Amino acid sequence: KHGDMLYLVLTDQVARVNNDAVEVKARSSPPPVRQSAAATAAPVAPVVEDEVDVFLSKQSGLVDRPRDEKLCHHGANAKCVHCAPLECYDEGYLREQKIKHLSFHSYLRKITGGLDKGKFAALENISCKLRPGCREHAPWPRGICTKCQPNALTLNRQVYRHVDSVTFENPSIVEHFLNFWRETMHQRIGFLYGRYEHHKDVPLGIRATVAAIYEPPQESTPDSIRLLSDEKQPLVDELASRLGLVRVGWIFTDLVPEDLQKGTVKHLRNIESCFLSAQECIMAGHFQNSHPNPCRLSPDGYFGSKFVTVCVTGDQENRVHMEGYQVSNQCMALVRDNCLVPTRDAPELGYVRESSNAQYVPDVFYK
Lowest mean pLDDT segment, chosen from 5-9, 153-157, 213-217, 302-306: 5-9
The answer to whether the CB of 91 falls within 8 A of the CB of 280 is no
The answer to whether residue 106 is domain-embedded is: no
H helices of 125-248, where? Answer: 171-184, 233-242
pLDDT in tens, 247-284: 999 999 999 998 888 889 999 888 888 889 999 999 99
Helix then strand then coil, % of the chain, to nearest 5: 20, 25, 55
The answer to whether residue 146 is domain-embedded is: no
User: Where is pLDDT greater, at 93 or 195?
Assistant: 195
DSSP state letter for 18: -
pLDDT at 331: 94
User: Where is pLDDT greater, at 317 or 45?
Assistant: 317
Lowest mean pLDDT segment, chosen from 8-22, 118-132, 217-231: 8-22
Tell me the pLDDT band of 36, cut-offs 50, 70 and 90: very low
CA distances from 58 to 55, 126, 204, 259 (A): 6, 28, 10, 52
Mean pLDDT of 196-215: 95
Residues contacting 24, CB < 8 A, separation 6+: 11, 13, 15
pLDDT at 330: 94
Mean pLDDT of 226-248: 94
Tell me the pLDDT band of 188, cut-offs 50, 70 and 90: very high
H helices of the chain, where? Answer: 37-40, 51-57, 91-96, 104-111, 171-184, 233-242, 278-290, 329-336
The answer to whether residue 77 is domain-embedded is: no
**Angstrom distance (rounded) from CA 178 to CA 189:** 10
Query: How does 83-107 read in b/e, with b if 16+ C-beta sit within 10 Å?
Result: eeebbbbbeeebeeeebebbbbbbb
The answer to whether residue 164 is domain-embedded is: yes
Residue type present at position 100: K
Number of domains in the chain: 1
Mean pLDDT of 128-154: 87
pLDDT in tens, 306-317: 999 999 999 899
Taking phi over 0 as left and psi of -120 to 50 as alpha, with beta for the rest, 65 belongs to: beta
pLDDT at 53: 93
219 - beta bridge partners? 226
Tell me the pLDDT band of 71, cut-offs 50, 70 and 90: confident
User: Where is pLDDT greater, at 31 or 192?
Assistant: 192
Range of the domain at 321: 154-366
The answer to whether residue 246 is domain-embedded is: yes
CA–CA–CA angle 332, 336, 339 (5° rounding): 95
- CATH number of the domain where residue 203 is located: 3.40.140.10
The answer to whether residue 354 is domain-embedded is: yes
Does residue 34 have a pLDDT over 70? no
The answer to whether residue 14 is domain-embedded is: no
pLDDT at 48: 86
pLDDT in tens, 147-166: 888 999 999 999 999 999 99
Instruction: Map residue 313 onto helix, strand or coil.
Output: strand
Lowest mean pLDDT segment, chosen from 97-101, 135-139, 185-189, 216-220: 135-139
pLDDT at 40: 41
The answer to whether residue 45 is domain-embedded is: no
**Angstrom distance (rounded) from CA 50 to CA 245:** 12
Tell me the pLDDT band of 135, cut-offs 50, 70 and 90: confident
Tell me the pLDDT band of 190, cut-offs 50, 70 and 90: very high
